[in-house]
Amino acid sequence: MQNLFIDTSLDKVFTKSTGRARGSHPKIQSKSSYQVWAPPLFWGPWVEIYAQFGVIGPNPEKHVTKVYVSFDSNTQTPSAFEVEIEGGDTLVSDSGPGSTIVTITGNVATALRLRAKSYSFAQNIIVSAS
């Protein structure tokens, strides 16, 4: 029972579990790129592309996170498509291929989700968030 934490602060638990000080990694992202399906003329499913679990430090309510999101077609017949990204300060709509910056303001736990639709043929979209 070496992972039993009784009468231990959350900071000590986090440090012992991860080997890092709490707050040193305010975001968790396990993948660098995601595949999103863009059906023709209809919105595809929402795909989570980024997660943030809040921030630690002075004035966390004034913290601003900027997430760079890029999206490109990975299809034999690429064509124009549209993406929507929700979870930031505002809903972002953009045409692809391209990129955008999503802003998250304050000490919030949130996840960015993206969906896409193609203007002609169905296609696979490769999305990266950093």
Each residue of 22-72: pLDDT tens digit?
Answer: 444 444 444 578 899 999 999 999 999 988 887 777 776 778 889 999 999
- Identify whether 64 is part of a domain: yes
Residue 106 pLDDT level (bands cut at 50, 70, 90): confident
Residue 11 lies in a domain: no
Task: Please calculate the CA angle 41-44-48 and round it to the nearest 5 degrees.
Answer: 150
Indicate whether this model's pTM tops 0.85.
Answer: no
Contact 80, 73 (CB under 8 A): no
Assigned domain for 106 exists: yes
Q: Is residue 88 part of a domain?
A: yes
**Which pLDDT score, from 0 to 100, does residue 21 have?**
52
Residue 113 maps to which CATH number? Answer: 2.60.120.510
The number of folded domains in the chain is 1
Task: Give 2-18 pLDDT, tens digit per residue.
Answer: 555 455 555 555 566 55
Amino acid occupying residue 99: S
Domain of residue 56, residue span? 23-129
Tokens of 5: 């934490």
Q: Find out whether 41 and 67 touch, Cβ atoms under 8 Å.
A: no
Rounded CA-CA distance 99/111 in Å is 18
